[in-house]
A and B are shown apart, each in its own frame.
Chain A
């Protein structure tokens, strides 16, 4: 890998721009995604930015169980994101359609329609889990730019970043202070 490619990989990892798409979500995950950009969790310190156009974005964040009305839009937006790109499925809905399973108005899960790189489980996932998922996707993005070969999807563990489940919370719902997700990207 020459110096230019190394520099490109580094920049892709350090500044992942997101495009958020709501595929029929209940707003829970969407609000948590916005909350992860707010001062408490501050994903913007990692160079993460929510972009208004898929053409400017590297990572596609998709929430919701994918309704029939959203399928075509999701495919179009996925094609519009310039490569290398990564897809993060936020919440349990895009992964399994969650409580809405068996609904006739759903075309989910998301993997039927576009390839997904990181699944962030939870209903909804905590903001720190979302940041961790985005950080993982940024790593995948850099790897993909360097190798140009398919990478297997990652399913994040349900346990929150700082909680090992030792406190008995069952993971993800615990209020123990989480480790700084920044260290994920710094490595």
Chain B
């Protein structure tokens, strides 16, 4: 006989408020339903009442983990409407900020995954590692979460001494190679909790329309940084890690390898950073009537912004956001089918959900 177990919206295994209804037969999950909307702040509507400067500060607070990506995507869309092109140094600073954000987001996710496995030591190790990245972000921008680096036509702040940041990357890479990756891949505890669990097949990954590390862990090698390079990514040399297995272990590995690739990109961007201005256009720019879209690879996958403007207006006519979790969310149902009840918190966390982005 099947029964229903409601998880959430305020549940210790969930980092954010959302509700997961699991239909179980014995210990096996036969179906799952996801309810979201507890974080709905009406940001897209609010954006229509804010002017072109306020809207950047508002969109930064869509998500506290990938705050820089949201302003970057919005600014790129608005640059499409104003016809401004950021100068080369600004493009490089944008890459540095985006990669630092990817680093801290992936290390944070590894910590939370370890906590859900019941591996609290690893959780503490990951969070200690993350603080090293946060130090750099704070040294650059002065804040640990909302960096407010992007503006229309460039960036607000300079990275005065890029070479000095290389030391942090060496430390991070060493810790990843020596501690985190070996423990997650060789420890029998971690392996038994991850391998062969929450499998998302290649076909399902495509039919659900998943993006980012979830898609790449199921063998779909798509990455906006390679497919449609933005900022200075066209000048960077990096690989897109792809794993064919589609289980939780593959998602873990993809993110671990992405951390290594991010270190590689950061090293290139910091050493090659060209001198020059930080922003073009100054305060003089005008919006043309129309709609511009921009796509960026956030830590969780592809973010798309579509911004509409009427000429002469101070406020946007419409700001539409499509977040990566919105795309990967339906895949949870196929991952938990046939899984054991005890594995579901880890499986639903393995897509690295961010429901505050999705609800907005």
B39: nearest residue on chain A (CB-CB)?
A24
Q: Which stretch from B60-68, B168-176, B224-232, B255-263 is at the chain A interface?
A: B60-68
Q: How far is the CA of A73 from the CA of B62 in the complex (A)?
A: 22
Residue from A30, A38, A51 in contact with B128 in the complex, judged by beta carbons closer than 8 Å: A38
The answer to whether A102 touches B41 (Cβ under 8 A) is no
The answer to whether A100 touches B61 (Cβ under 8 A) is yes
Q: How many A-B residue pairs have CB under 8 A?
A: 121
The answer to whether A124 touches B64 (Cβ under 8 A) is yes
Known: A22-B16, A38-B131. A69 touches B64 (CB 8 A): no
Which A62-118 residues have a C-beta within 8 angstroms of B?
Answer: 64-65, 67, 69-70, 73, 77, 98-100, 102-106
Interface string of B298-309 (1 = CB under 8 A from A): 000000000000
Q: Which stretch from B24-32, B137-145, B208-216 is at the chain A interface?
A: B137-145
Given the complex, which residues of A lie within 8 Å of B65, measured CB to CB?
27-28, 31
Which A1-47 residues have a C-beta within 8 angstroms of B?
Answer: 21-22, 24-32, 34-35, 38-40
Q: Does A173 contact B (CB under 8 A)?
A: yes
Given the complex, which residues of A lie within 8 Å of B62, measured CB to CB?
26
The answer to whether B39 touches A28 (Cβ under 8 A) is no
Given the complex, which residues of A lie within 8 Å of B58, measured CB to CB?
99-100
Q: Does B9 contact A (CB under 8 A)?
A: yes
B16: nearest residue on chain A (CB-CB)?
A22
Interface centre among A26, A35, A104, A123 (most CB of B within 10 A): A26
Interface centre among A22, A51, A65 (most CB of B within 10 A): A22
Which B1-31 residues have a C-beta within 8 angstroms of A?
Answer: 9-10, 12, 15-17
Q: Which stretch from B43-51, B77-85, B90-98, B275-283 is at the chain A interface?
A: B43-51
**Shortest distance from the beta carbon of B323 to any chain A beta carbon, whole Å:** 12
B61: nearest residue on chain A (CB-CB)?
A26
Given contacts A24-B359, A25-B39, A26-B64, 10 further A-B contacts (CB under 8 A): A22-B39, A31-B108, A39-B124, A65-B41, A67-B41, A73-B9, A99-B57, A100-B42, A104-B45, A105-B42
A sample of 27 cross-chain residue pairs with beta-carbon separation below 8 angstroms, ordered by A number, consists of: A22-B38, A24-B41, A26-B63, A26-B64, A26-B67, A27-B15, A27-B16, A27-B63, A28-B145, A34-B127, A35-B130, A39-B127, A40-B127, A67-B40, A69-B17, A69-B37, A69-B40, A73-B10, A73-B17, A99-B57, A100-B41, A100-B43, A102-B49, A124-B144, A126-B144, A175-B135, A175-B138
The 6 tightest CB contacts between A and B, nearest first, are: A28-B64, A52-B12, A38-B127, A27-B64, A28-B145, A105-B42
